[in-house]
């Protein structure tokens, strides 16, 4: 017994009685109110619920049907919510007809550089600015980010450009700092299975982009999203950013199969990061185009005014002129698949 579908017109009292009964048995109720139906996702280990107990719930006033879900991810599943989830961030809606582009440097370096990049990408059509204030690096001697100073710079750039801020959270102890400055929290690939971190962001209602881990399966990505949603935060965006394979010509292998596969399995929006997916700036444009054709709801692209001097990931960053040219081409592809940028 994983999903309880209420009858059309079920009363608030009937809904209350069902949730109270669930709570009395040690479960939590995640309520999703659609245009025609209200659905309750049952949170907890439902494997021990007997058929008789399941039938008792089905007999309660207001209940239309009780569904058992085989998939381990319940809330992220289309069984729980058949219609697509859209997430409103400022004036932007992720998961709708419009494809959104999140652009900016890998790391926040200084205010002047970030502001210039933000102005350029906005002019080209980007709708979000990205930049890391806390940087997870393979080497402890590499640039680790500016910390709170970087977040302050992001907030100042948002004020001047109007672009919402996307930045990465690495440590649960920094959650309130990130909440103060960011519009969207990014969970990086290395932290996709940092379950304590996932639970922390799940306990707040701030939109979250969760990147697929370096060696993670699609099921594992959805289970990571489930960790966040089980805490009550349903504003989750999935990001394909390449996985580690035996191929060495690119930084990662960008798995664009994941886009249509995820679209079939989940109601959550799906975006693609071709910058980390390839690790080479000249491969970003063709893979970005392919991602839109595959059905992605958005892109995350690294842009820098001077990639050669970038403190992080300069080799995969587009210059503003290249980004502008790409955005023009992406508009044509978006139109061809019934979307817009």
What ranges do the domains of the chain cover?
3-67, 87-336
Work out the average pLDDT over 155-169: 97
**In angstroms, what CA-CA distances link 92 with 53, 81, 96, 126, 259?**
43, 22, 9, 11, 21
Q: Quick count: other Cβ atoms within 10 Å of Cβ 88?
A: 12
Q: What is the pLDDT of residues 184-231, one digit of tens each?
A: 999 999 999 999 999 999 999 999 999 999 999 999 999 999 999 999
- The C-alpha atoms of residue 284 and residue 264 are separated, in whole angstroms, by 25
Q: For residue 1, give the 3-state DSSP assignment.
A: coil
Rg of the chain's alpha carbons, rounded to an integer? 21
DSSP state of 60: S
State the chain's mean pLDDT as an integer.
Answer: 93
pLDDT at residue 9, rounded to an integer: 87
Work out the average pLDDT over 55-73: 87
- The C-alpha atoms of residue 256 and residue 240 are separated, in whole angstroms, by 8
Look at the alpha carbons of 330, 340, 238, 139 in this order and tell me if their dihedral is positive or negative. positive
- Residue 115, Ramachandran bin (φ over 0: left; ψ between -120 and 50: alpha; else beta): alpha
Task: With a cut of 90, say whether residue 146 has pLDDT above it.
Answer: no
Q: Are 232 and 203 in contact (CB under 8 A)?
A: yes
Third-level CATH fold of 87-336: TIM Barrel (3.20.20)
Residue 41 structure tokens: 């996702």
Task: With a cut of 70, say whether residue 144 has pLDDT above it.
Answer: no
Residue 12 structure tokens: 């608030």
pLDDT at residue 44, rounded to an integer: 84
pLDDT at residue 138, rounded to an integer: 66
DSSP state of 83: S
Q: What is the pTM of this model?
A: 0.86
Query: Could you tell me which of 247, 229, 243, 273 has the C-alpha nearest to residue 77?
Result: 229
Task: With a cut of 80, say whether residue 324 has pLDDT above it.
Answer: yes
Distance from the Cα of residue 18 to its chain's centroid: 31
pLDDT at residue 5, rounded to an integer: 92
- The C-alpha atoms of residue 156 and residue 275 are separated, in whole angstroms, by 25
- The C-alpha atoms of residue 108 and residue 105 are separated, in whole angstroms, by 7
pLDDT confidence bin for 35, thresholds 50/70/90: confident
Of the CATH numbers 3.30.200.20, 3.40.50.920, 3.30.559.10, 3.30.70.1140, which one belongs to the domain with range 3-67? 3.30.70.1140
Work out the average pLDDT over 84-113: 96
Task: Show Cβ contacts of residue 58 under 8 Å, excluding neighbours closer than 6 positions.
Answer: 65, 66
More confident residue, 35 or 111: 111
């Amino acid at each position: 017994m994983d999903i309880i579908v209420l009858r059309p017109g079920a009363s608030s009292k009937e809904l209350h009685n069902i949730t109270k009964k669930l709570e009395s048995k040690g479960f939590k109720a995640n309520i999703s109110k659609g245009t025609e139906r209200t659905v309750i996702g049952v949170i907890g280990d439902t494997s021990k619920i007997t058929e008789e107990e399941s039938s008792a719930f089905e007999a309660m006033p207001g209940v239309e049907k009780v569904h058992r879900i085989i998939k381990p991810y319940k809330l992220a599943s289309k069984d729980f919510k058949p219609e697509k989830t859209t997430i409103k961030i400022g004036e932007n809606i992720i998961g709708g007809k419009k494809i959104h582009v999140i652009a900016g440097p890998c790391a926040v370096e200084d205010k002047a550089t970030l502001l210039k990049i933000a102005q350029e990408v906005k002019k080209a059509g980007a709708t979000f600015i990205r930049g890391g204030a806390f940087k997870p690096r393979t080497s402890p001697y590499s640039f680790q980010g500016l910390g709170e100073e970087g977040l302050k710079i992001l907030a100042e750039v948002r004020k001047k450009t109007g672009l919402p801020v996307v930045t990465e959270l690495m440590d649960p102890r920094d959650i309130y700092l990130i909440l103060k400055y960011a519009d969207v929290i990014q969970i990086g690939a290395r932290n996709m299975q940092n379950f304590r971190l996932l639970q922390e962001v799940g306990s707040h209602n701030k939109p979250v982009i969760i990147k697929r881990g370096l060696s993670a399966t699609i099921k594992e990505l959805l289970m990571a999203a489930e960790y966040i949603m089980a805490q009550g935060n349903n504003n989750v965006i999935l990001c394909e950013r390449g996985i580690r394979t035996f191929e060495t010509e690119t930084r990662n292998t960008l798995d664009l199969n994941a886009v249509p596969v995820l679209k079939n399995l989940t109601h959550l929006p799906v975006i693609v990061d071709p910058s980390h997916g390839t690790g080479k700036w000249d491969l970003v444009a063709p893979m970005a185009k392919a991602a839109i054709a595959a059905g992605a709801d958005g892109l995350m692209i690294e842009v820098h005014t001077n990639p050669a001097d970038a403190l992080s990931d300069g080799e995969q960053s587009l210059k503003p002129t290249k980004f502008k040219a790409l955005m023009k081409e992406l508009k044509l592809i978006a139109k061809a698949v019934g979307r817009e940028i």
